[in-house]
Structure 1
């Protein structure tokens, strides 16, 4: 079989894509390399030896910063946001399959937070909690602030999914005697499950690294992005780079695991 001949335009576009990837991950590669500085290494090149010293130091008691606590808070907050985003986006997608009064204003209202500056939303929610007599915290006010960021994306994804979803599958299930609930559980849900996993990934990753909407709403305890930002002014060792490398690898593992789950679901559905 003859190999496909690529056009000149393909190589031009491939070149620009390679430049884009280099621009995107070039600075990250510098952080990755500097995190392997030797014990006497600094924050800049050239490297003063190679070691895992700063990765080990990352899990020891630090003079400044709370790596473990901030990571746990970001992790739990991301999971909370992910679960609520998936549930609400699914319910919204199901609700908008049928026309109802006020659907259009409600849709625009649900995505309006995407065009409002994030810091304004953070400030507004923080002031609202304080004026209501509640102390802003990462599990309450920051949780609500993150949902204003993740829910519009989840809702838009589910709208796209259900716009391409044929109701004939449900009709066939009803013809075979299935109730509406059974049709949803055994027909609709397995077909849209990969999309729900994608919505969950969006919700988790957008929350995990959110800074602006957390700034005024996290309260006393920092999430990981706030902790990293605070450490840039008082940490003078490559331990900060080690933290960046570890959190980046964690993010890639989450993405890889999610993509693997989606591929598994699609393969199982194709052979089911």
Structure 2
């Protein structure tokens, strides 16, 4: 007897349509920028498109009358990598430290995540004023680094807390029973098990730093990062080269995410082969 297909309720189609509209609302602006970046040589910043070409991508790597694409991208990349490394190391160490209660741990925890509820522009302004008071001119590798860490570290800390809360300490005890030192236990037992989560922290912290605007505004000094450079160019650049820049940087972000996900899958496959 053939099975009759169950009829889906009307609410399913309503929710599906709502979700589709949400996705279009979320990615519509990105799709618009992506399409307009392929304008013809005589195309403008709006629809309709005047031809199709890769002209603006080539123009992106030429010398510009306004804007410093190469320099700002390099600074954002370096800053993002430094923030990523510091966030991963400190979050991992903090996760290990908070596995056991100690005096003042609650105060330290709330101080660490307090920056999440403070407006980003106020943190940027405060750090910039602090560097001016101590007569240390803000640079992207000093004040901007501190400002970005106030944004990335709380997320890394919360992720590592969640990871270590479900971490079984019996694996560490077994390693010590077999004669492993504390460092060997961390290196050969703890790190491989929390490695995928650390990759997630690294990806999260890098992307947050790479496109951060508000916390960089008052701390970058005269050396713009890529988000600040793009913001400054919106009042001067009147060609689709700005859209081409958006497409390239978005593609770079997806590349970073793909590398991170690929690393996680590779670690899980190796772990499965060893098991």
Partner of 1:16: 18
Q: Which of 170, 181, 184 pairs up with 2:183? A: 181
Partner of 1:269: 271
Distance between the aligned counterparts of 2:25 and 2:36, measured in 1?
18
Partner of 1:155: 157
Partner of 2:247: 245
The Cα shift of 1:11 comes to 5.3
Structure 2: runs of 5+ lacking an equivalent: none
CA offsets per residue over residues 23-43 of structure 1, 9 Å max, x none?
111111111111111111111
1:113 aligns with 2:104: no
The Cα shift of 1:15 comes to 3.7
- Cα pair distance change 1:100/1:221, threshold 3 Å: same
The RMSD of aligned alpha carbons is: 1.5
Structure 1: runs of 5+ lacking an equivalent: none
Distance between the aligned counterparts of 1:161 and 1:192, measured in 2?
7
The Cα shift of 1:20 comes to 2.1
Distance between the aligned counterparts of 1:248 and 1:236, measured in 2?
20
Q: How does 1:88-99 map to 2 (within 5 A)?
A: 88-99=90-101
- Cα pair distance change 1:242/1:189, threshold 3 Å: same
Secondary structure, counterpart of 1:128 in structure 2: helix
CA offsets per residue over residues 165-216 of structure 1, 9 Å max, x none?
0101111111112122111111111000000000000110000000000000
CA offsets per residue over residues 72-100 of structure 1, 9 Å max, x none?
00000000000000000000000000110
Distance between the aligned counterparts of 2:176 and 2:16, measured in 1?
49
Partner of 1:225: 227
Distance between the aligned counterparts of 2:259 and 2:92, measured in 1?
22
Distance between the aligned counterparts of 1:7 and 1:200, measured in 2?
42
The Cα shift of 1:263 comes to 1.0
CA offsets per residue over residues 20-75 of structure 1, 9 Å max, x none?
22111111111111111111111111111110010000000100000000000000
1:62 aligns with 2:60: no
